[in-house]
Amino acid sequence: MEFKLNPDLDLDALGEAYAVKKRLQIKQILPTKAAKHINELMDKQTPWIFTFSDGSGTNYMPIPMLRSLPPQENARLQQMINQTSRNGFGFCYNTFNFHNEIMKGNFLDHPIKKFDDFLQSDKFLGFIRKVTGDETIDGCGAAATWFGPGHYLNIHSDQIKGCDLRAAFIFNFSPKWRADWGGELKFFPDKEGSKVEEGLFPAYNVLNIATVPYYHSVGVVAPFAGAPRFSISGWLFSGKPPPLH
């Protein structure tokens, strides 16, 4: 499939709206068929890996390995993750860092490669430059994420030492989502999260963009959530790309 943006998007109006708050939600970002294709890829053809923080760095565990853990060991792992997240930056969710893998020469035959090519193309980067008004953006890195029950991402500001990150983006691919299920993208004025400036619940075929740095989090997905929170997120940068993981 060849990916492209929805041709009905009004670039001028989007640019004006973005200039107000330096963040924007764009609905119907892709043609319907393309959005459905991505959703199906994430549901059926993605080699998900569980990722979490232990206080000293990022850890990865293939989903089959996670599911094979004895109940007691699984409980100890979750307790450690919770303790790490209680008073600082922590996270746990499923991911597939497809751009990093592709840059390493892996998954070149995977269907997601065409979407990665689209994200690196002037069709997408040119669109982003016009919407954000930032002509310095010349690169993009992205990963797929799947937040399920109990998953979350604590408050952070999307800054990487030595990299000139210009904006962050999140494509949402959750066809059916209830606000009661949580998993909202929340924006804050400070790292303490003294108040919520805006909250955006998972949606379908929607693109969220925000200028970096900005404080944000992903709220805990409820244990009774009835669908996966699928998204493709990443950074738009100038010059040196973020490090590979």
The three-state (H, E, C) secondary structure of the chain, written as one string: CCCCCCCCCCHHHHHHHHHHHCEEEEECCCCHHHHHHHHHHHHHCCCCEEEEECCCCEEEEEHHHHHHCCHHHHHHHHHHHHHHHHCCCCEEEEEECHHHHHHCCCCCCCCHHHHHHHHHCHHHHHHHHHHHCCCCCCEEEEEEEEECCCCEEEEECCCCCCCEEEEEEEEEECCCCCHHHECCEEEECCCCCCCCCEEECCCEEEEEEEECCCEEEECCECCCCCCCEEEEEEEEEECCCCCCC
- Confirm whether 5 is domain-assigned: no
- Confirm whether 84 is domain-assigned: yes
- Confirm whether 2 is domain-assigned: no
**Which domain covers residue 35, as residue numbers?**
11-238
- Confirm whether 146 is domain-assigned: yes
CATH of the domain at 75: 3.60.130.20
- Confirm whether 244 is domain-assigned: no
- Confirm whether 134 is domain-assigned: yes
Instruction: Render pLDDT for 66-100 as a digit per residue (tens, 0 to 9).
Output: 999 999 999 999 999 999 999 889 999 999 999 99
- Confirm whether 62 is domain-assigned: yes
Number of structural domains the chain divides into: 1
Residue 245 pLDDT grade (very low, low, confident, very high; cuts 50, 70, 90): low
Instruction: Render pLDDT for 183-209 as a digit per residue (tens, 0 to 9).
Output: 999 999 998 888 999 999 999 999 999
